[in-house]
Amino acid sequence: MLFQNWLNDDSKIILFDGAMGTELIKRGLKPGKVSDLLNIEQPEIISEIHKSYYDAGSDMCQTNTFGSTPMNLKRHNIEELIGKITDNALKNIKDVCPSGCLIVGDIGPTGEFRPPVGNASSDQWYSSFSTQAKLLEKGVDLWHIETISDLEEILTAIRAVRDVSNKPLIASITYKKTKRGFFTIMGDSLEKCINTLNNEDVDVIGANCTLGSHDMVDLLKDAISFTNKPFSVKPNAGQPVVKGDKTYYEQPIDEFANDVKEMIGLGAKIVGGCCGTSPETISTIREIINSL
The pLDDT value recorded for residue 116 is 84
Overall average pLDDT of the 229-244 stretch: 92
For residue 81, the tally of other CB atoms under 10 A from its CB is 18
- Backbone dihedral angles phi then psi of residue 232, each to the nearest 5 degrees: -115, 140
Overall average pLDDT of the 186-199 stretch: 97
| Domains located in the chain, CATH noted | 2-291 (3.20.20.330)
Place 268 in a pLDDT band, splitting at 50, 70 and 90: very high
The pLDDT value recorded for residue 24 is 96
In 3-state terms, what secondary structure has residue 82?
helix
User: Is residue 65 a contact partner of residue 105, using CB atoms and an 8 Å limit?
Assistant: yes
Indicate the burial class of 9 (C-beta count within 10 angstroms; 0-12, 13-18, 19 or more). Answer: exposed
Judge if the upstream peptide bond of residue 115 is cis by omega within 30 degrees of 0: no
pLDDT at 233 over 90: yes
Give the pLDDT confidence of 78-116 residue by residue, as tens digits.
999 999 999 999 999 999 999 999 999 999 999 999 888
Find, among 182, 179, 163, 162, the residue nearest to 171 by Cα: 162
What is the Cα–Cα distance from 57 to 14, expressed in whole angstroms? 10
Question: What DSSP string runs through 53-79?
Answer: HHHHT-SEEE-S-TT-SHHHHHHTT-G
User: What percent of the chain has a predicted confidence (pLDDT) above 70?
Assistant: 100
Indicate the burial class of 103 (C-beta count within 10 angstroms; 0-12, 13-18, 19 or more). Answer: buried
pTM score of the predicted model: 0.97
Give the pLDDT confidence of 51-70 residue by residue, as tens digits.
999 999 999 999 999 999 99
What is the Cα–Cα distance from 243 to 239, expressed in whole angstroms? 13
pLDDT at 140 over 90: yes
Long-range contacts of 10-13 (CB under 8 A, 24+ apart): 13/264, 13/268, 13/269, 13/270, 13/271, 13/289, 13/292
The pLDDT value recorded for residue 163 is 98
User: Is residue 67 a contact partner of residue 129, using CB atoms and an 8 Å limit?
Assistant: no
User: Is residue 200 a contact partner of residue 192, using CB atoms and an 8 Å limit?
Assistant: no
